[in-house]
Every structure is written in C-alpha cells, then in structure tokens.
Amino acid sequence: MHLRPRRLVVGLALLALAGGSSVATGADPATGLKAEYFDATDLTGSPVVTRIDPTIDFNWGLSEPVPGVGDTFSVRWTGTVTPRYTERYTLSVTSDDGIRLYIDGQLVLDDWLMHSTKTNSTQVDLVAGRRHDIEVEYFDGIRRAVAKVEWKSASQQREVIPNERLAPPADAPPPPVADDKPADSGEVAPGTPATTSETPLPPVGASLTDPVTQTTTAVPAVTVTAPGELPPPAPPIPGETFNVEPAKGDVLVRRPGDGALIPLDQGASLPVGTRLDTREGSVAIETAPAQGVVQNQVASFGGATFRVSQPRDGGKVVTLDMMHGDFESCSSLPARRFKKGKARAAAKKRGARAARRSVREMWGSGKGRFRTRGRHAAATVRGTEWSIEDRCDATVVRVRSGIVDVADFSSGRTIAVRAGESHVAAP
C-alpha cells in the first residue's frame, strides 16, 4: 500500500460523530466505564446521556434507565479492564435483550437479538496488570431491561467485574460534583448498579502459583502525537492490526479505547476494532490472511460507517459491522387511519415505500475472506464485488461478481448468492 497525502474537509462530519451531552454520576472518574445512552435500539444518533457507570450490573425492569430515554433504548460502555491474574477467564453476560462484548477490539460474544433474560459466556486470555480494551453494546427492545457482565478464572471467583478493575477512556466525563446527602442516607439513584464486593489488589507483576497460567501477545498501542497523525502502514498482525489507505473522498477514523476522531489522509496501521466512517469516501484495507488464504487480503470498501474485527485464531475471517443509521425514522402513515376505499389503498402504498427506504449501505470489492454484517444478515465472501443494504424492513445483499454466502439471521439459513442475484433477509 502506498502513502499519499490527501486533503480532507471534515467540518460537519466531525460534529455529527462527536455529539452528545455529558452527565457525571457518583463514580470516581478514574474507575468505571464510560456509558453512552441512546434513545434508539441500535446506538444511532447522539447519546442522550454520557456518564461514568461504576460497573455493568443493571436491572432496570420496566423503568427508563436515565431521564430522556424511553423503554426502548441502547447503551455503549467503553474503557479498559485490568485483571488480577494471567490466565484464561470466563466472561459471562446476562441480558434482556441483545448484547455484544468486545475485548481488545475483538468481538468475543454476540447475541444481538431480542430475548428474555439469559446468560451467555465466552473465554478469553487476559494478562495481569495489563489494561485490556473492553466495549459492551446493549439494547432493550421491549419490556424488561437487564445488563450484567461477570468474570471468573481458576484464581478468580465469579463476580461482577468490580469498579476498581475498570477504567474509562480519556474522553470520559469530568469528575462529579460532591453530593450533599450523608453517606448513610441509604438513598440510591435510579439505575445505579448493584454493589459488588471489593477484593484487595495484588501488586502488578506478582508471581502466580496456579498451573493454568496463560500468556497472550499485547495489542500494539496506537499513539497520536498531533491531530491527524496515525502510525504508518506495517505488516498486519492476525487479530491485532490492519492497514488502511484512503481511496476516495473524505474518511474519518474513530480509534478504540480513547474514542479520538481522526481524519484519514494517508495510509496507516490501525488496531483491530477501529471504526471507519466512509460515508463520504472509500478506503483500501489490507489484513493478515484468513485461513486458506496464501497472502495478505486486500479489499476496498465504502458508503457506510463500520468496525473492522478479526479473530486471532480459527478462520480469521475479517468482519466489517455496519454502524449508525437512523432507524427511528422508519415510520409511515398507518393504513388503519383510513376506513376503506382509495385513501386506505394509497396509505398502504406509502407505507410499503417507507418500509423499503434505505437506512445505510456499504459496498465491497476485493480478494480474501471478508464478512460484512447488517441488521438481519451477514455476507461472507472469498473474493468478489457485492453490497449490503439495511432498509427499514429488511437487509438486502446484492452480488455483482463471484459468490457470496449470506447468513440470514431470521431464518437461520445460509444461502449462496451468485453474480446478478440478491437476497432479502427480513425479520
């Protein structure tokens, strides 16, 4: 990939991605996680409230989680988690409804569906004293709302990940104003997480006696020394880094961890988990090869905001998750307002047109194993040209050349879609 400086006009795009109000809670700003609450189920629009949550241990029931957010909402928690021990941890998330968990930019648990309260678990290797990036995305679609994240290992009893082991990103809200209430008043603010036990912290680097000791490779840090600066391209590391180069138009980068918004004006090496905004442009991405691919994978993408992820092990398929999109506007004039006749028929037509309205769409072209994911389907390719579109009523995958395997989330089937064909996945 070649470096070539580009002029970017970011203006309103920077404001659009950085909006939202900030509200501090009673947590020490040096601990806990940054929480962004959205009055939408898909994390779109500007956060209604941004604050520090001490832990993720909530049972909101049928009440609103914060003022200004209704019964259907979504939350994004970001920051770091620092384990006590170097070993394999079981991370358990309890939710009602959907939830996703990312560790060091890797999507390690994905249950983005409506369901009653249930617990999902996954295993990850963590290093004592190291700050691992953590991001949790959650939505509540109807009725009860529950979200909880716990950990357990050979040396660590199962517990909600405690406040002192969490730290917010650099752009977290400022410290809160001191509360006038006495400490023993017994009053608890609505939505405050349940209290968790605190365990004395061992010194960083302390020796371990447990035989189940694991080691992992640290994710290279990304340091920005001036606005717009990013590390130059380097050989991609599977599940850790990838290269990106602007191809056309204006492209923005939102770095994981600190959430910094950076114009992309030349080639760069970025950590897996980075979000790219290509709504006004396109990029070329180079990643480490997936299973069965001989050399580095290169493909072009554009048209949407998406997150790049790749597992360290297994198939190493690169996944691009579409982000943002105004699904709240997916409404139409209800036909039932008209009792009969032509007015009712006209209302039905308008409703059908509104349902087919495009909310977000991205295209891809290249060779290698890539997966693009929308609301109701994901398209996995081996080298082709394709697009994926989220409409109000469905996700549509179109194939221009080659073959795409489409996973339909509603039917649970995987369909091979060939050049000139398309597949519509509806909920």
Q: What is the pLDDT of residues 148-202, one digit of tens each?
A: 999 999 999 999 999 999 999 987 666 454 444 443 333 334 444 433 333 333 3
Tell which of 121, 152, 167 closes a domain: 167
Whether the pLDDT of residue 56 is over 70: the answer is yes
163 plus 245 within the same structural domain: no
pLDDT score of 306: 93
Out of 18-27, 137-146, 360-369, least confident range = 18-27
The CATH number assigned to the domain holding 138 equals: 3.90.182.10
In a domain, residue 276? The reply is yes
413 plus 288 within the same structural domain: yes
Tell which of 167, 193, 217 closes a domain: 167
Q: What percent of the chain has a predicted confidence (pLDDT) above 70? A: 72
Structural domains in the chain (count): 2
Q: Residue with structure tokens 């500007």?
A: 46
131 plus 264 within the same structural domain: no
In a domain, residue 194? The reply is no
Whether the pLDDT of residue 225 is over 80: the answer is no
In a domain, residue 63? The reply is yes
Q: Which is more confidently placed, 340 or 400?
A: 400
Integer Cα distance of 92 and 343 in angstroms: 52
pLDDT score of 45: 78
In a domain, residue 233? The reply is no
Model confidence band, residue 354 (pLDDT cutoffs 50, 70, 90): low
In a domain, residue 336? The reply is no
Whether the pLDDT of residue 87 is over 90: the answer is yes
User: In the predicted model, what is the mean pLDDT of residues 365-382?
Assistant: 89
Instruction: Calculate the average pLDDT of the chain.
Output: 78
159 plus 269 within the same structural domain: no
Residue 410, domain extent: 241-328+355-425
pLDDT score of 250: 92
263 plus 368 within the same structural domain: yes
pLDDT score of 246: 94
User: In the predicted model, what is the mean pLDDT of residues 78-89?
Assistant: 95
Model confidence band, residue 286 (pLDDT cutoffs 50, 70, 90): very high
Whether the pLDDT of residue 375 is over 90: the answer is no
Q: Which is more confidently placed, 201 or 288?
A: 288
161 plus 49 within the same structural domain: yes
pLDDT score of 203: 36
User: In the predicted model, what is the mean pLDDT of residues 69-88?
Assistant: 91
163 plus 280 within the same structural domain: no
User: In the predicted model, what is the mean pLDDT of residues 216-241?
Assistant: 63
Q: Which is more confidently placed, 272 or 8?
A: 272
Whether the pLDDT of residue 405 is over 60: the answer is yes
User: In the predicted model, what is the mean pLDDT of residues 66-87?
Assistant: 89
Whether the pLDDT of residue 36 is over 70: the answer is yes
* Contacts with 116 (C-beta within 8 Å, 6 or more apart), sequence order: 96, 144
In a domain, residue 201? The reply is no
Q: What is the 3-state secondary structure (H, E, C) of the chain?
A: CCCCCCCCCCHHHHHHHHCCCCCCCCCCCCCCEEEEEECCCCCCCCCCEEEEECCCEEEEECCCCCCCCCCCEEEEEEEEECCCCCEEEEEEEEEECCEEEEECCEEEEEECCCCCCEEEEEEEEECCCCCEEEEEEEEECCCCEEEEEEEECCCCCCEECCHHHEECCCCCCCCCCCCCCCCCCCCCCCCCCCCCCCCCCCCCCCCCCCCCECCCCCCCCCCCCCCCCCCCCCCCCCCCEEEEEEEEEEEEEECCCCCCEEECCCCEEEECCCEEEEEEEEEEEEECCCCCCCCCEEEEEECCEEEEECCCCCCCCEEEEEECCCHHHCCCCCHHHCCCHHHHHHHHHHHHHHHCCEEEEEEEEEEEEEEEECCCEEEEEEEEEEEEEEECCCEEEEEEECEEEEEECCCCCEEEEECCCEEEECC
In a domain, residue 38? The reply is yes
In a domain, residue 18? The reply is no
The CATH number assigned to the domain holding 391 equals: 2.60.120
Tell which of 117, 148, 167 closes a domain: 167
Q: Which is more confidently placed, 203 or 426?
A: 426
Burial class (CB in 10 A: 0-12, 13-18, 19+), 427: exposed
407 plus 270 within the same structural domain: yes
Integer Cα distance of 166 and 421 in angstroms: 47
276 plus 418 within the same structural domain: yes
φ and ψ of 21, to 5 deg: -95, 160
Contact predicate 311/345, CB 8 Å: no
Model confidence band, residue 343 (pLDDT cutoffs 50, 70, 90): low
pLDDT score of 262: 83
pTM over 0.85: no
Q: What percent of the chain has a predicted confidence (pLDDT) above 90? A: 47
User: In the predicted model, what is the mean pLDDT of residues 33-39?
Assistant: 92
Model confidence band, residue 366 (pLDDT cutoffs 50, 70, 90): confident
